[in-house]
Amino acid sequence: MPDMTKTEALSTEGAVAPVDAIAPVTHEKPRSLWGDAWADLRRNPYFLVSSVLIFVLLLIAAFPGLFTSADPTKGDLVHHFLTKPELGSIGSPDWFGYDGQGRSVYARLIYGTRASIIVAVAVTLIVTIIGSITGMISGYFGGITDAIISRITDIFFGIPFLLGSMVVLQAFTKRTVWTVVFALAFLGWTQITRVMRGSVITVKQADYVHAAKALGAGTTRILFRHVLPNAMAPVIVVSTIALGGYVGAEATLSYLGLGLASPTISWGVDISAGAAQIRVAEHILLYPSLMLSVTVLAFIMLGEAVRNALDPKLR
């Protein structure tokens, strides 16, 4: 190759690349914590599996008639403890056999989903709202306000959850779904309060909170516009995991005869009835127990997936 002259070399070094060769400048908007969490959740198999299970459970609770045409309260003693299922017809009253009164176990399983889901979701919403507000006030204002709320929280936190719920339910002669919701929510808000308090204490030291104060923003605006959205991540994680625990708590109270009772249809009621017949008809106990276990597992898996997505240290 012939040597280039000095002038040609200088012109080559100083040559400007063609316009088409220049990479386009992209102005991609940085993602927030919630955007990163959603991107992580979409790739998490635990989140996908638990979401499908929870969606099916919610669909069953909202529209039980789509899954069975049988009446869960109608019994026929001809079917007394009949256990032979018709495997070829899912949704048939015979699918999981019958109980001692000739009622379809499958139909009661489907209709019992509603009570358990309502109790769990309602309790979670109530304790999240109460715990978030009390924890936010305690952590943001500090001082005597923090001391009073913290001591009240400690008093309630020292009461055993299930034992305290039993005592509260004893005060009611007629126990309905909303009675159980009240009893569980009465003692369930303490953990959310503690979590929210710690999160708010961290968030209120952030620069954007100090900037909002310097610009003259009111306390209410600072709390609900700046502090609350940025302090909710750990609360959402705890609430999601606790939701599965409330499903188990309702079933436990009903099993002990202190929660829901017949004619209300509930997994706990059927587990209690099945425990007395476990030697002669174990299917009455088996299927509600499996359904309860799957439901609790689904919510725990969802909570773990959300926790991993919202905690940058775990990603």
Collapsed DSSP state (helix, strand, coil) of residue 74: coil
Q: Residue 84: inside a domain, yes or no?
A: no
Is the pLDDT at 135 greater than 60, yes or no? Answer: yes
Structural domain of 178: 114-314
Q: Residue 108: inside a domain, yes or no?
A: no
Neighbours of 76 (CB within 10 A): 13
* Crossing angle of the two packed helices 283-310 and 267-275, in degrees rounded to 10: 140
Query: Are 115 and 179 in contact, with CB atoms under 8 Å apart?
Result: no
Query: Are 161 and 249 in contact, with CB atoms under 8 Å apart?
Result: yes
| Amino acid in the structure at residue 101 | Q
Q: How does pLDDT run across 39-66, given as a tens digit for each residue?
A: 777 888 888 999 999 999 999 999 998 8
Q: Select the more confidently predicted residue: 213 or 312.
A: 213
Q: Select the more confidently predicted residue: 8 or 306.
A: 306
Q: Residue 147: inside a domain, yes or no?
A: yes
Q: Residue 55: inside a domain, yes or no?
A: no
Q: Residue 250: inside a domain, yes or no?
A: yes
Residue 30's pLDDT band, with cuts at 50, 70 and 90, is low
pLDDT at residue 78, rounded to an integer: 67
How far apart are the C-alpha atoms of 154 and 158, rounded to whole Å? 6
Q: Residue 170: inside a domain, yes or no?
A: yes
Neighbouring-strand partners of residue 282: none
The reported pTM is 0.81
Q: Residue 4: inside a domain, yes or no?
A: no
Query: Are 163 and 99 in contact, with CB atoms under 8 Å apart?
Result: no
Query: Are 138 and 99 in contact, with CB atoms under 8 Å apart?
Result: no
Structure tokens belonging to residue 290? 């499996």
Q: How many domains does the chain have?
A: 1
Q: Among 217, 201, 227, which residue's Cα sits nearest to residue 143? A: 201
Q: Among 314, 25, 113, 164, which residue's Cα sits nearest to residue 306? A: 314
Distance of CA 219 to the CA centre of its chain: 30
Report the CATH number at residue 132: 1.10.3720.10
Q: Residue 293: inside a domain, yes or no?
A: yes
If residue 162 lies in a helix (H) or strand (E), which one and from where to where? helix 161-170
